[in-house]
């Protein structure tokens, strides 16, 4: 009998149903909801039984480096897209967002040995063979060299007196580059083994992408960020202050950065990229000096509120799932970007706009006020409301001011 991973999707669904994990309705739902062609989905992951969908929207008002964008975003969190558009609108009133991605960029690969009998001698030999290592790396992935990329620099480091590390910086051009870096690292590891004479521990990409940085900035007249209840200068000063607090307080810094990643991840996902890689890079960069810090910085400069976000953005315009998923092909047309550099700049701009919207809400009316309407709708649906009942339950929830499921269920019961 075929093993689960060897079965067709239909057989896997049958197995799950036979074992009591799926009923007829669940199985029919999984069978019928298939925006990705089955052979593509089956080729992408193991044990594929269906497809998981999330809402996708477009954020408006983005102008980055003078170009206007409609930005596809995929998220399950209410308010993310509205907040991104709101932040972008405020930036737009001030001339838009400026962004600059490091280019050419490089991804880091690590090759590490342990139990090296003469670790200093081995380190010296690796340094002496730098030209040979370059030739080995180029031969391992000639197509990236033809495209203008490949191995850029090498570093040999002894870690903790007992590990020998050969660190490679590789220009992966338009790709995020995980697979090509891994291929090159493994080929180099094998070829240099006689010069090291130790035990290879691993050879793989590092997700600490500190040679693929992007910076987005905006400069805002405080008047343009005023709310009905609070003047713009007070809000601007409080945004500066809450960011300074986040520099000191890790609890706040984590939430500050999560707000940025709300926007970043939503675009990364919509563009078919590896959002875990972007997350890992963001958080390792946030703690680069040994203390976890906010990724963005807000300061008053000549009467303006100036926001800056710098973070790694190892995004790909090719490779991975970018050309496999039909919806990503559509999103590429919506956003009209075919360059990893320009995409990185847009994504950083979205992160900064998202950050502005969250901080502005937080220091003025509080975060819940803005979340209320969408949160109420989500609660109404979770409570079981359908059709016309959804807005009725949502409105009543906002009226009573208690955003919880028990209240939503109570309201729905009385409505019926
Ligand atoms: P791919 O393995 O898909 O490689 C990129 C592809 O794009 C290559 O086939 C390359 O062609 C092609 N390509 C076309 N035009 C260009 C161009 N201008 N510049 C560069 N490449 C071009 O993807 P990556 O190497 O980017 O790897 C990303 C994938 O790896 C993601 O799916 C990620 O999830 C996964 N991954 C991530 C890891 C991590 O983050 N730690 C670990 C392992 C995998 P050619 O071959 O002709 O050069």
Q: How far apart are CA 178 and CA 67, in angstroms?
A: 30
Nearest ligand 1 atom to the CA of 141 is: 48
Task: Give the residue whose CA is nearest to atom 17 of ligand 1.
Answer: 174
CATH number, domain of 404, equals 1.10.8
Q: How far apart are CA 296 and CA 294, in angstroms?
A: 5
Residue 141 and residue 155 in one domain: yes
Q: Is residue 16 part of a domain?
A: no
Q: Is residue 146 part of a domain?
A: yes
Write the CA distances from 358 to 8, 86, 160, 231, 371, integer angstroms: 45, 10, 42, 17, 10
Residue 189 and residue 92 in one domain: no
Using 50, 70 and 90 to split pLDDT, how confident is the model at 375? confident
Query: What is the whole-number distance in angstroms between the Cα of residue 321 and the centre of ligand 1?
Result: 9
Q: Is residue 312 part of a domain?
A: yes
Contact (Cβ atoms closer than 8 angstroms) between residue 316 and residue 289? no
For residue 374, pLDDT over 80 is answered with no
CATH number, domain of 229, equals 3.90.770.10
Nearest ligand 1 atom to the CA of 280 is: 40
Tokens found for residue 405:
């499921």
* Mean pLDDT score, 202-206: 98
Q: Is residue 283 part of a domain?
A: yes
Q: Is residue 23 part of a domain?
A: no
Q: Tell me: the pLDDT tens digits for 240-293?
A: 999 999 999 999 999 999 999 999 999 999 999 999 999 999 999 999 999 999
Residue 244 and residue 354 in one domain: yes
Domains: count for the chain:
3
Residue 238 and residue 334 in one domain: yes
Q: Is residue 27 part of a domain?
A: no
Task: Give the residue whose CA is nearest to atom 24 of ligand 1.
Answer: 177
Q: How far apart are CA 182 and CA 168, in angstroms?
A: 11
Q: Tell me: the pLDDT tens digits for 102-142?
A: 999 999 999 999 999 999 999 999 999 999 999 999 999 99
pLDDT at 407: 94
Among 338, 365, 392, identify where a domain stops: 365
Residue 195 and residue 299 in one domain: no
User: Tokens 């102008």 identify what position?
Assistant: 63
Q: Tell me: the pLDDT tens digits for 121-130?
A: 999 999 999 9
Residue 138 and residue 271 in one domain: no
Residue 287 and residue 401 in one domain: no
Q: Is the pTM of this model over 0.80?
A: yes
Domain that holds residue 174: 107-206
> Would the CB of 174 count as within 6 Å of ligand 1?
yes
Q: Would you name the residues annotated as active-site residues?
A: 77, 258, 274, 371
Residue 154 and residue 120 in one domain: yes
Contact (Cβ atoms closer than 8 angstroms) between residue 133 and residue 166? yes
> Would the CB of 147 count as within 6 Å of ligand 1?
yes
Residue 334, CB-side half-sphere exposure with 13 Å CA sphere = 19
Q: Is residue 46 part of a domain?
A: no
What's the mean pLDDT when you consider all of the chain? 96
> Would the CB of 173 count as within 6 Å of ligand 1?
yes
Q: Is residue 123 part of a domain?
A: yes
Nearest to 212 by CA among 165, 282, 123: 282
Task: Give the residue whose CA is nearest to atom 14 of ligand 1.
Answer: 318
User: Tokens 């490089």 identify what position?
Assistant: 106
């Amino acid at each position: 009998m075929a093993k689960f991973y060897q079965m067709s999707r239909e057989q896997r669904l049958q197995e799950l149903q036979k074992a009591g994990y799926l009923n007829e309705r669940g199985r029919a739902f999984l069978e019928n909801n298939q925006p990705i062609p089955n052979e593509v989905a089956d080729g992408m992951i193991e044990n594929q039984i269906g497809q998981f969908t999330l809402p996708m929207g477009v954020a408006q008002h983005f102008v980055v480096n003078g170009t206007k964008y409609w930005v596809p975003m995929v998220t399950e969190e209410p308010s993310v897209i509205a907040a991104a558009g709101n932040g972008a609108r405020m930036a737009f009133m001030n001339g838009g967002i400026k962004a600059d991605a490091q280019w050419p960029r490089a991804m880091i690969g690590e090759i590490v040995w342990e139990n090296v009998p003469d670790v200093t001698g081995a380190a010296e030999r690796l340094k002496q063979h730098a030209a040979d290592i370059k030739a080995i790396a180029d031969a391992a992935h000639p197509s990236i060299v033809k495209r203008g990329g490949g191995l850029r620099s090498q570093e040999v480091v002894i870690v903790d007196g007992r590990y020998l590390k050969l660190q490679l910086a590789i220009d992966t051009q338009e790709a995020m580059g995980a697979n090509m870096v891994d291929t090159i690292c493994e080929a180099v590891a094998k070829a240099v083994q006689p010069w090291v004479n130790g035990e290879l521990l691993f050879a793989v990409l590092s997700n600490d992408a500190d040679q693929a940085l992007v910076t987005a900035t905006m400069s805002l007249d405080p008047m343009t960020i005023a709310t009905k209840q609070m003047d713009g200068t007070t809000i601007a000063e409080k945004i500066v202050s809450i960011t300074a607090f986040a520099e000191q307080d890790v609890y706040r810094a984590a939430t500050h950065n999560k707000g940025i990643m709300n926007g970043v991840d939503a675009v990364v996902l919509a563009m078919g990229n590896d959002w875990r890689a972007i997350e890992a890079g963001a958080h390792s960069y946030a703690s680069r000096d040994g203390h976890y810090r906010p990724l963005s910085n807000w300061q008053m400069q000549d009467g303006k509120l100036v926001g800056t976000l710098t973070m790694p953005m190892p995004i790909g315009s090719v490779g991975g799932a970018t050309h496999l998923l039909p919806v990503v092909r559509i999103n590429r047309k919506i956003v009209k970007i075919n360059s990893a550099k320009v995409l990185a700049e847009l994504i950083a701009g979205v992160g900064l706009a998202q950050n502005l919207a969250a901080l502005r809400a937080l220091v003025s009316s509080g975060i819940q006020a803005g979340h209320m309407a969408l949160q109420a709708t989500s609660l109404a649906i979770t409570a079981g409301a359908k059709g016309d009942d959804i807005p009725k339950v949502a409105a009543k929830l906002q009226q009573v001011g208690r955003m919880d499921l028990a209240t939503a269920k109570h309201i729905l019961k009385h409505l019926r």
